[in-house]
Structure 1
Amino acid sequence: MNDSVIDKIVAASRPVRYAATAALGLLAVFLLVISLNAISDFGRSNIPYSNTITVSGTGKSAAVPNIAHISFSVTESAATVADAQAAATKKANAALEFVKSQDIDDKDVQASGYNVYPKYETQNCSPGVYCIQQSSKIIGYEVTESIEVKVRDTAKAGEVLAGLGKLGVQNISGPNFTVDDTSEVTAEARGKAIEDAREKAEKLAKQLGVRLGKVVAFSENGGGYPMMYGYGKGGVAMDAAVEAAPNLPVGQNETNVSVSITYEIR
């Protein structure tokens, strides 16, 4: 093969080599861009900092309750559903009228249940007689209406209980004392918990010989642990409530918050 032929072959293959070289260059640039993006995403990911410390803190705050929750129900029995309903409605309406007379708004009175149950009588066999099957028959019906009440003047809670007892309402529970809006007391407890965690972090950083940086993670666990005072009367014991309104201590409701804070250290 002479030189002219070789030159022609080389000349013919030159564009192919150029194209291949360009393609490899573009591929290298593409892979470089992907690698840089991956490194950037890794830096912005949620992977925790390697140089961090995590501390926990607790805080609590107390508030005087301003709501007394009282629930009651009336139960009446009769031969028919209609008669039992009428008797229960009469007693419930009287109780509701009394509740409203205590300056309790309609929005703070809510029906929580209404139930109708049949009452059965079982026909027992005579002594010494073998019975194949005992029979039961309906002898009447029982109607129960349940009401929940919010008493915003906690000093009136005892009067409400006594008044309901005077009306013959036998199933009463409460009061349970709560704080209507817990946001302020929770915020105060949270602030104390954060301060507690910060003090622990500063002490730990001093012991480790490092300096605290910015906060990189935070979590909170919060909940109220109220000191509840319950009061309930039923049956014969209700007669004592007619004579005098009970004196009910309100106490305080305590809210506890715990936090976990992660600091960057350097």
Structure 2
Amino acid sequence: MNHQSMQKRVMTVTGEGIASAQPNVASIQIGVVTESMNLTQAQQENARMMERVIASIVNLGVPRASIQTSEYTILPQYDYDSGTQVFRGYEVTNMITVTNENIAQTGEIIDTAVQNGANRVSTIQFSVKNPEALYQQALSVALRDAYLKANTLAGTMRARLDPAPIKVMEGGKDGAIPLAKASTFAASTPIEPGQLEIEAAVEVQFLFFA
């Protein structure tokens, strides 16, 4: 039977791809929390301690431009005695985000900040400087996966696959996700950056002849 007499049909397959990389950017949230019955005193003490924390981080070689205030809150604090609300002072919280491309220094930054007055570390996140390039790699893997599945299906059905797809749709785009595998840098506070992975998916339609 020649190809002209064979019936054209449409095959739809999905492809999935993952690209992984070592993170090269660390973001750390570090804070100072102070309490006092006097609000001005709590603010002044907080400012003094935070400036000391920032100066200590800058002395490690982190550019001051890489340190940003991420949260500043003032909250009244109360105790309850036999159902009665008793004011016990103000709590001032000042959080900064330190972004550093030398991720091996993450533990040292945390230790230095704590030694100089920081009393809260809330978040440590690792990322890559160019996640789009990593996503493009995952997308390429996803398309190859779709081709492989289409050829497998066509071979199983003893059909001829037209290698030129008639439609390609990009699937969901995920952010960088930390993997469990990790290496620990030598630091007094051990930090495990691990690897990051980005996933991509495609939906591809091919013509095949049966």
Partners of 2:30 and 2:95 within 8 A in 1 = yes
Look up the match of 1:157: 106
SS in 2 for 1:221: coil
Q: Flag the structure with higher strand content.
A: 2
Query: In 1, distance between residues paired with 2:40 and 2:181?
Result: 38
Question: Cα 1:262–1:137, aligned 2, differ >3 Å: closer, same or farther?
Answer: same
TM-score, normalised to structure 1, is 0.66
Q: What CA distance in whole angstroms lies between the structure 2 residues aligned with 1:61 and 1:259?
A: 14
Q: Give matches, 1:67-146, under 5 Å.
A: 67-124=25-82, 134-146=83-95
The residue that corresponds to 2:9 in the other structure is 51
Corresponding residue for 2:192? Answer: 249
The answer to whether the Cα contact below 8 Å between 2:50 and 2:117 also exists between their aligned partners in 1 is no
Q: State the alpha-carbon separation in 1 of the partners of residues 163 and 12 from structure 2.
A: 12
**For 2:196 and 2:81, how far apart are their aligned partners in 1?**
53
Matches within 5 A, 1:1-266: 51-124=9-82, 134-208=83-157, 209-212=159-162, 214-219=164-169, 220-223=171-174, 224-227=176-179, 245-266=188-209
- Residue 107 of structure 1: CA displacement? 3.5
Measured on the aligned residues, the alpha-carbon RMSD in Å equals: 2.3
Which of these two proteins has the greater Rg computed from alpha carbons? Answer: 1
Residue 139 of structure 1 and its aligned partner are, at CA, apart by 3.5
TM-score (norm 2): 0.82
Give how far 1:213 is off.
5.3
Determine the structure 2 residue equivalent to 1:129. Answer: none
Relative to structure 1, the CA distance from residue 109 to residue 122 in structure 2 (aligned partners, 3 Å threshold; closer, same or farther) is: same
Q: Which has the higher contact order (CA 8 A, sep 6+)?
A: 2
Q: How many residues align?
A: 195
Contact 1:67 1:150 in 2 (8 A): yes
Which has more helix, going by share of residues? Answer: 1
Q: Residue type of the partner of 2:19?
A: S
C-alpha contact (below 8 Å) 2:26/2:99 kept by paired residues: yes
Q: CA deviation at 1:255?
A: 1.8
Contact 2:13 2:146 in 1 (8 A): yes
Identity of aligned residues (%): 23
